[in-house]
Amino acid sequence: MFIYVFRFSIIVICFCKAYEDLSYKKLATQSTTSTGGVYSYVASNAVDRNETTCMRTEPMGPNSPYKSVWWKVDLGGKYNIQSITIHFKSYGGYEMQQRGRFAGFRIYASNTGNVNGSALCYEDKSQLPPLYFTTTCTASARYVIFYNDRIDGVTYPEGYEVLHSFPTELCEVIVMGCSALGVYGVDCAVPCPFNCRNNMCDIQNGNCLACEPGWVGDNCTIKCHEGWYGDDCAQQCLGHCRLYFCDHVTGLCDKGCAAGWTGSFCNETCADGRFGMDCFQNCSSHCLNDSLCDKETGHCDTGCEPGYTSENCTKECPAGYFGNDCRSECSGHCLNNEVCDYVNGACPSACQDGYYGKQCTAVCREGFYGRNCSSICSPNCSTCHHINGCTCHPGWRGPNCSQACIDGTFGIDCILQCSSRCLNDSPCDKETGYCNMGCKPGYTSKLCLKEEGFAGGAIAGIALAVVFILAVIIVVVYRKRKSNYICGRSQSSTC
């Protein structure tokens, strides 16, 4: 008995200098409780720090309905565990028998209280365990679970008790560690590294048990490599962030999305009709045949509707052009030099004189001229120009050549004077200037310009002929200037 107290005292002193007893008088439970004898064999006996009181289960084994046993303690919170010590029940002279009974046990650290999903701290294999057992278990957990079994049909190592059923008896289970969270070291005073997940680290060396998302390394000080993020930096960025890689912790694109992408992770393409960075921009409504623009660039890859140009089809045709790709040139015959419609080339109000049609490209039909080609040339016209109308036959005048020359005048536009030598002052022919009634006495020739019997009459006749020719030239020049004046006002390219 003295030897037992000495050994137990040494253990307690050593633990007190290092870590804290986390299991003392904490809530303990077990699979079954032995009901035989005068003593109480409840689960809490293993955490009262009294070696004379032990927990005991109902027997398990070949002659028992129980094929496994468990005992667990709830530490009352999640703590960093350093070691677990178990004092098995010792019977003098039966040490090997007891060791064979306990052989094969396992210890789990758990946050749920169930064996499934818990971390295995220790598993007893072929060697028989000592009755005073200690193992290092660096874990962050709320529950510590003892488990053992004897399953029918399973071959166990030599020395294991398999012939008879037996109870499990634990006198003390001592869980040592730090009661404060986020610390490590023999005095539980050194803070865990900053990026340890849940602020939990190895209680002895301070290495993080796991890292917060976005960090790796023993102390979780290494940032994820560019293009990776999350737990253990195992997730790859989707590659559509604007300018930078995704956030190494969350995977989000904090600077926004590259052109054509949207969503927190920039893994969603722009909705139809939108484009650009974060899909903020609307596509032009002038893509050909209402086709969709490119979600990255906004370009109308199929072309533009008539009247629009540029890659995004956002610019109207420049003045003077219209239609597909703005390749068509306006007619230049819109009234008052107005610019034609940039979509269909139509003149906004009307056409210049001499033209008709929506685009004012058609010349008046022969015999018509003027505004909307509504004026009709007279039969007295020698020519009918589609813009300025008639050039009169000799003997006619007026805008439409509908007025005959007044008596005493003749020729083109009636600008020539009849000879004063026509017989009886009769009017000359209004087309030719001839004195159809004859000449006054002493004169001859059709124009009555030649004096009878006077040699100089021939010279005078020649002179009058020259005057007549000059008059014709003057008329031609006059009409040419008149025509140029009218064309100048109409600014027609066909004058």
pLDDT one-digit tens code per residue, 38-76: 789 999 999 999 999 999 999 999 989 999 999 999 999
At 428, the amino acid letter reads: C
Q: What does 320-376 look like in DSSP terms, one character per residue? A: TEESGGG-EEP-S-BGGGPPPPTTT---SS-BPTTEESTTS-EEPPTTEESGGG-EE
∠ CA 268-271-275, rounded to 5°: 90
pTM of the entire structure? 0.54
Q: Evaluate whether residue 253 is within a structural domain.
A: no
Residues of the chain with pLDDT > 90, as a percent, come to 64
The pLDDT value recorded for residue 385 is 87
Which structure tokens are listed for 161? Answer: 């008790």
Q: Which of 22-36, 190-204, 481-495 has the weakest average pLDDT?
A: 481-495
* Residue 77, in any domain of the structure: yes
Is position 197 within any domain? Answer: no
Q: What is the mean pLDDT of residues 156-163?
A: 93
Tell me the per-residue pLDDT of 170-191, one tens digit each, with 9 for 90 and over: 999 999 999 888 899 988 999 9
pLDDT band at 377, cuts 50/70/90?
A: confident
Residue 120, beta-bridge partner list: 108
pLDDT, residue 413, reads 86
CATH number of the domain within which 23 lies: 2.60.120.260
Query: What are the structure tokens assigned to 314, written together?
Result: 């956002």
Q: Check: CB of residue 144 under 8 Å from CB of residue 75.
A: yes
- pLDDT at position 453: 67
Residues 6+ apart with CB under 8 A from 406: 414
Name the domain count of the chain: 2
Q: Is 457 exposed, middle or buried (0-12, 13-18, 19+ CB in 10 A)?
A: middle
User: 15-29, 183-197, 335-349, 453-467: which range is least confident on average?
Assistant: 453-467
DSSP classification of residue 96: H
Residue 160 is assigned to a structural domain of this protein: yes
Task: Band the pLDDT of 471: cuts 50, 70, 90.
Answer: low
pLDDT, tens digit, 9 for 90 and up, residues 281-332: 999 999 999 999 999 999 999 999 999 999 999 999 999 999 999 999 999 9
Domain final position from 179, 196, 229: 179
What is the tens place of the pLDDT at every residue in 69-95?
999 999 999 998 999 999 999 998 899
Q: Which of 163, 179, 195 is the last residue of a domain?
A: 179
Mean pLDDT of 198-213: 91
Average pLDDT, the chain: 87
Residue 434 lies in a domain: yes
- Cβ of 472: how many Cβ atoms within 10 Å? 15
Tell me phi and psi for residue 414, to 5 degrees.
60, 35
460: pLDDT strictly greater than 60: no
Pick from 257, 282, 285: which is nearest to 271 by CA? 282
**Residues 97, 150: Cα–Cα separation, whole Å:** 15
Question: Which of 179, 205, 226 delimits the end of a domain?
Answer: 179
- Examine residue 96 and state whether it is found in any structural domain, yes or no: yes
Backbone angles phi, psi at 164, to 5 degrees: -130, 150
pLDDT tens digits, 394-450: 989 887 788 899 988 998 889 899 988 998 889 999 889 899 999 999 999 889 988
Range of the domain at 167: 2-179
In a domain, 360, yes or no: no
Does a structural domain hold residue 162?
A: yes
